[in-house]
Structure 1
Amino acid sequence: MSGTPVGALFDPDYTAILCRCFMATSLLSGLLIVFCAMLSVRVDKSDRWAWGTVFVPLWLVDAVLLIWLVPMAFRPSFGRTEGAKTRRESKQQRRAREARRRGIAVTCYLVLCIVFQILIVLREDRHILWSAAAVFIPYWALEAINFINNGASALADIRDIPADDPATGVAMSGRERRMLQAAILVNAYWWWCIRVSLALLIVLKLDGQLATGWPTVFVPAYLATVRYLLLFLVAWLRLRAIDHAESRAQGKLENPAGHSMAVVFVPVFIVLSMLFCCTCCCAPCLFCLQHVPTDEMGENAARVVMVPFNRRITYAPLGSNVSTPTAVKV
């Protein structure tokens, strides 16, 4: 696209952003593939590696996320601010506060995840003899933060409920309003309840306080799968406008005895390999092809220079309040 006259209308800064995204995604997917492979080998006892060695690729992923996400989270969003100078300054201050809160939240999430991984490694290598409930303390802290955030967003949505029904314009009754508030709360906390219940069952199973098998432990995951399947089914039925007498959605997770972890991780390997191939090979090649001039343009297309956004000449009608970039004298 950059080798055509139309390419001069696009911002050339997106090239560096796309390259960074391709590189980071390729690196993360490659490290996750290596981690899953080492984990399957260690669980199958094909090798006697220490668990600290197995988790090295995952810690490299954590390092990449710390270097990449934390500075990005602390960076305030840049948007066009129009109006008086005091209004622009207040918007900039608000964006700076939001960026600071976002950066602190992202840092806390990553630090708690790293501490959780370290505790798992220390427990599996027998350096500490803590129970699974104690090892999961960073995870409980993460879910406590998620509980507060979900509650704040749910309360904000409840306060924003209009007095009148947007579809009919008629005032909503008390029952309809309570049903809408309950739906908001369920939508905010259902996935949190699934995660916490699954973690509790795993902790009880690891500590030997639950005598059921692992398929029973993962019942919350099955419920989440069934819910998503039902949502997709309802959306498909609405799009197709087909009435069915009965519709069922089943979710089943099965790990028969005798199958190695390498077989269990086959879907993960396929997904991560496709992601790695797309971000490391296919997408960069397609992106580089945009720089090749077309046959119709020839050498003239190759000489077209992409103009940065802040140096373009734009047109706005007289009397309009549209904020335009500074014109460049040619």
Structure 2
Amino acid sequence: MAGRGAFPDLGTAEPKDFYKILDIERDADAEQIKRAYRRKALRYHPDKTGHDPDAAEQFQLVQRAYEVLSDDKKRAIFDKYGERGILMMEQMGEVAPFIDPDIILAMNKFFFIGTLLTALLILFPSFISVRADHKVFWSWAVVFIPLFIIDALLLYYLLTIPTKLPGAEEDDDHDDRFNEDRDAAMRDREKRKKEKAMRRSGSKVGMVGYFLLVVLFEIFVVLRLDGKVGWSWGAVFAPWFIVEAVNSYMISMGVVKKVKEGVYDLEAAHEGEGLESQQPTMRALKASEIVVLIADAYVFWILRLAQAALIAAKVGDGPLQSTAWGLIFLPTWLWGLTQLLSIVLACVAVRRSVVVDAERKKEARVGLIIKSIGFAVVATLLYVGVGLLVKRLANEESSGETPGAPSMGVIFIPTFIVLGLLFCCFCCCLPCLVCCFRQGLEAELAEDGVSNVEMIPSDRRITYGNGANDRPGSMTILIGEGTGSSRKR
């Protein structure tokens, strides 16, 4: 990774100490750096030194030193990697995040939070397993503690995220300089700011309310399982149905927006001649395309809503109480069928397409292969777990006990596999990859091009049959230091 062919060749870059150039200590503050720069710049300024090339070069070095040391991020990189780190950041933007202290800190936070959340997600099905298998007799409120901790962390994140997004006011100044009435322009600008602030605040309130409905549903489930309330399961699922109603509104808004915007007319661009005709234009959606768009947008929502309604009707006193559990999970089985059908239709569309060029067709095929593999893995894990759950619930319903039924620990095995892989990624794999990449950068940024690895002295190394008197296959171990070393075989 630290090979010379991987990164810019920095070996020819002569390292400079910007602190010595400005004659300041390494712990100097911003004011001291500014004073030192003014003093040095005044001393080597061309207006004072004339055409002296040495003074001009020194003046450029002073400017470069101030440019780096006055920037907190560049100064931190310089303190750790030297000038080569600055050059690497300026020349290789794609690897700059691995030497940027702020981004490294953000990645560390991401890995820590991901590890914490996946650990809690592993604990939650574990608690359900031991409680449902009667290994322990905790209340369901205790079982849901890991999930409530996750809810608290997510709620804290939603409440602390800034409502003002970067670049949100970039268009505030448009057309102001062309408006002669400056007072009217200022009023329009303030009005736009207030409207944006209201939209951002409304979006944040909507996200928090949406999340609180999900938490309320979890609380209702706990109260019902612990027998604290005697509500019907339809009432328990009421917050979830409200959430699905909100989802329906959001899906509808997305569909309306896509219908209004239309799609690119690729066929017209393909059949036309000349450079201008090759540019795709927007056209209105056909009736068949609108039907496909609506089906793609609503199919998963319909199946999800139907699954929740069937479970609520089955566990309650509704007419589906005697229905087999295999039929209750019919929406889950249909989800896999719809996904498989969409993959098949996408393959047929790519194969018959005459508009997409060979390169795009190849990319589409690769994407479909990846999607097919992902679907196969997800469907296998999902349906193994659901199938085992259906078997357990059917046995409990028929005999009141679970003879021969799989335990909840076995049912959750697919869940544990997925969460375990995520935990390993957040806790080990991704941090190790980032660390290895940083080690490669540090080796490349070292002054001699070699990382600071402690080398074993030559008189303490293990060699293999290098001596003239050594027998084939013999091993020579050198022990000791200096002239006092001894040879053993």
In the other structure, the counterpart of 1:45 is 134
Q: Distance in 2 between matches of 1:297 and 1:14?
A: 19
Which residue matches 2:313?
204
2:412 is the counterpart of 1:262: no
Residues 41 and 230 of structure 1: CA distance in aligned 2, closer, same or farther (over 3 Å): same
Asked if structure 1 preserves the Cα contact closer than 8 Å seen for 2:311 and 2:328, the reply is yes
Deviation of the 1:297 alpha carbon:
3.8
- Preserved contact between residue 262 and residue 283 of structure 2 (Cα < 8 Å): no
Q: Which residue of 2 aligns with 1:36?
A: 125
Identity of aligned pairs, percent? 29
State the AA in 2 paired with 1:196: L
Paired residue for 2:434? 287
- Aligned equivalent of 1:76: 164
1:22 paired residue among 111, 118, 121? 111
**Matches of 1:267 and 1:213, distance apart in 2:** 23
- How many Å separate the matches in 2 of 1:275 and 1:95? 37
1:133, 1:203 within 8 Å by CA — same for their partners in 2? yes
Q: CA deviation at 1:32?
A: 0.6
In the TM superposition, 1:233-272 aligns within 5 A as: 233-235=344-346, 238=350, 239=365, 253-255=386-388, 256-257=391-392, 258-272=405-419
Q: Is this contact kept in 2: 1:26–1:280, CA < 8 A?
A: yes
Q: Match for 1:61 among 134, 150, 157?
A: 150
**Alpha-carbon distance in structure 2 between the residues aligned to 1:109 and 1:216:** 30
What is the aligned counterpart of 1:149 among 250, 255, 261? Answer: 250
Comparing 9-18 with 37-46, greater Cα deviation is found at: 9-18
Q: Distance in 2 between matches of 1:173 and 1:19?
A: 46
Q: What residue is the counterpart of 1:319 in the other structure?
A: none
SS at match of 2:152: helix
User: Does 2:88 align with 1:6?
Assistant: yes
Q: 1:55 to 1:301 in 2, by over 3 A?
A: farther
TM-score where L is the length of structure 2: 0.53
Alpha-carbon distance in 1 for matches of 2:340, 2:331? 14
- Tell which has more relative contact order, 1 or 2 (C-alpha 8 A, sep 6+): 1
The residue type paired with residue 335 of structure 2 is: A
User: Which residue pairs with 2:268 in the alignment?
Assistant: 168
Instruction: Give 3-state SS (helix, strand or coil) of 2:228's partner.
Output: coil
Measured at CA, do residues 200 and 290 of structure 1 come closer, stay the same or move farther in structure 2, by a change above 3 Å? same
Give 2:335's match in structure 1, choosing from 207, 224, 228.
224
TM-score normalised by length of structure 1: 0.77
Tell me which amino acid in the other structure corresponds to 2:267: A
Task: Provide, for residues 280-299 of structure 1, a one-character-per-residue CA deviation record: whole Å limited to 9, x for no partner.
Answer: 12222332344435445424
- Note the 1:126-145 alignment, pairs <5 A: 126-145=227-246
Partner Cα separation in structure 2 for residue 15 and residue 82 of structure 1: 28
Deviation at 1:23, TM superposition (A): 1.5
| Long gaps (5+) in structure 2 | 3-76, 177-188, 272-280, 351-364, 367-375, 393-404, 451-489
Q: CA RMSD in A?
A: 3.4
Shift of 1:200: 0.9
Q: Which runs of 5+ in 1 are unaligned?
A: 241-248, 303-330
Native 8 Å contact 2:443 2:449 kept in 1 = no
